[in-house]
Structure 1
């Protein structure tokens, strides 16, 4: 549980604003408590753990009762009926080996809980960032629509004095219509992402996500220790599975050993009539010891071979998964660097676009303005703003993936 708390903390410090960190922390906690997938893995772990009590048993005690239809005669009298009891006991240490094997399976199942929690935390965070980006883009479009309305007013004034044509006004209006369409589409995408987010938290789909404050690009990246990748739960799970096969082989060796049985037979003897001696009608009690030896042990040899092959398979699976995780980590690190580079470029471009806009406004004050230039600058400014938001979102999404892999 300590590792989960550590990962959770590192997810939280991705935020530059305290309010955002607290909000995401609350949402992740809610998801961890309510998500049905987590509950499924926890129930599976409890079920496997309960099997320890199932295997901590010995074979059933055998009882038998027989009645002599044709009573055999003995010196002490005729045998009437027979009662027997028998208990087989596994070889020394067999039950302990069974418990160790089941416990190793439970340990492997527990790693699935850790993996599921990590994935859920990453999914909640990424969905949260998608909501932020969508909301931020809608706000940018609203601001640009208002800006175009201002330009439209300027164009109408210019038309009145003969310095612009009605076509300029219509072009500005059409551009506003396009932006409103983009905003409406984003709103529908926001609702779809909100449904996904609510499902991760296992709550009603129409629950409204509170307004998300602006995310800022951090001044510096947090450290990424790639050596920690070897301790990732997805890889530790294979170690636990490997250990479970080792325990399976130890159990196989124990079960290939003999079984010892102890029993007791009781035979009721009827007194012989017309005779008088000390043992007349004396019942028979016969303790017994038996041994069950697996002479034909081909089954156990085959199981040993299967265990060896399974261990090799697990090692191959672990190496394959390690390669995949290393690729994902490298990709996430590089894409996060690319997001920071893109953000810096878009910030620079946005400043230059703003300077160009100021020049156009000053031109309007002197009576000379080209509304084609206005639309071009506005389109560039919108593009840079959208790209800047995408860069911030990408940075946080990739950071969430990195956290999933190495923390």
Structure 2
């Protein structure tokens, strides 16, 4: 698998594009939900395939997605007029009037809040929906990173097992050589015992690596939520020519694209809208209504004009917010929430930038370690082993030193694989921090 296939495409899209076309959005959400409900039967070959499987099957991601779907219904509930009130009254003792006795009354009332209140409520609900989407994006990105890291751990384990097997074969050969030399009195029994000790130690180490792989497979299965018909394939190789953008570009991208920061900004924006809404709640509201009164006919006066005519009354009402403490407290509460959100944004920016610096440090450290082991140390140890084995054949070399150098070769080979995997893990975490796996509503 080459580096281009391994890395995940960076996606950026504006907020205007993210929240467009309600009808199209709803259709896509329905289709995405149907897709998520179907078992994923593909035979995944790349880490990107497994990341998609995890995004569609992982319970945490699905939970965050359904929370987002639920929040989409919120704007339709907010920003609408209160339900009209209808009242019916029956006069047990009819009220006598000139036109006849009033027998019953039907009243209809519709209240209206202060101008702009409904729009503010809709805007708050819309902003909160965007915050829920950022929570979904953050959850999905985190599972993407966890999946990639798990597969990198699996790659490291598989390569470590291969290296351990190769070194075990070498040790098996050294045991045989030492036995032959011992039988011909060219070596001592101590050489045989030392080789056998190293042999058993490496077998134990190899068994632990295999056990670790079983545990890691279970972890990956948990991330993928046990999808059926999925066979886990590990990349055959990772290339060392992995490149990252410069630190300033990554820092700018982190500030702009990180879903946690985006969610906090929406919280700040929502608090500002709530402050305006609280101020408008302190304004008068008014209502209009009508009463229809049923009037019976008078039987004691013949020829009375409009005898028994029903009455229709137009009515207006006002709600006057006299007790200001309640509304002032709502405004102050919203102001405190704004300041709290601003402090959270500042704090989170600082911590995320620190995480980014640490990830870049880990990436460059892993790159240096890989170069050291791959280009220098392993070659030197191999060269030293060749010389020492030639000398041992002439019975002029210390067998213990050969075994020590063989252990060092094993350590360097394992360290090289670890450094390569660490480099990719650091790059994957940088991708997670900078939101390079961000998904948009238009893609679901």
Fold equivalence (TM over 0.5): yes
Runs of 5+ unmatched residues, structure 2: 12-43, 437-444
Higher mean alpha-carbon deviation, 298-307 vs 244-253, is at 244-253
* Matches of 2:10 and 2:298, distance apart in 1: 91
Relative distance call for 1:50 and 1:250 in structure 2 (3 A) is same
Cα deviation digits, residues 212-256 of structure 1 (max 9, x gap): 312232275554422222212221221111111122222223332
1:237 alignment counterpart = 263
2:280 aligned with 1:254, yes or no?
yes
2:81 aligned with 1:55, yes or no?
no
Runs of 5+ unmatched residues, structure 1: 12-20
2:292 aligned with 1:269, yes or no?
no
Higher mean alpha-carbon deviation, 55-64 vs 139-148, is at 55-64
User: Normalising by structure 1, what TM-score?
Assistant: 0.90
Q: Paired residue for 2:423, among 357, 373, 395?
A: 395
Q: How many residue pairs end up in the alignment?
A: 394
Q: Paired residue for 2:309, among 279, 282, 294?
A: 282
Give how far 1:166 is off: 2.5
Give how far 1:185 is off: 0.8
Give how far 1:7 is off: 7.8
* CA contact 2:271–2:334 (8 Å) conserved in 1: yes
Cα deviation digits, residues 358-380 of structure 1 (max 9, x gap): 01221233344432122111111
Give how far 1:36 is off: 2.0
Give how far 1:59 is off: 1.6
Summarize the alignment of residues 6-405 of structure 1 with structure 2, pairs less than 5 Å apart.
8-9=8-9, 23-203=46-226, 208-218=231-241, 221-224=244-247, 225=249, 226-231=251-256, 232-276=258-302, 277-347=304-374, 348-405=376-433
Relative distance call for 1:208 and 1:360 in structure 2 (3 A) is farther
Cα deviation digits, residues 73-96 of structure 1 (max 9, x gap): 222222222222222122333222
* CA contact 1:195–1:206 (8 Å) conserved in 2: no
* CA contact 1:118–1:404 (8 Å) conserved in 2: yes
Relative distance call for 1:24 and 1:107 in structure 2 (3 A) is same
Give how far 1:6 is off: 12
Relative distance call for 1:294 and 1:65 in structure 2 (3 A) is same
Higher mean alpha-carbon deviation, 358-367 vs 237-246, is at 358-367
Question: What's the Cα RMSD here?
Answer: 2.4
* CA contact 2:112–2:285 (8 Å) conserved in 1: yes
1:14 alignment counterpart = none
User: Normalising by structure 2, what TM-score?
Assistant: 0.83
* Matches of 1:359 and 1:222, distance apart in 2: 44
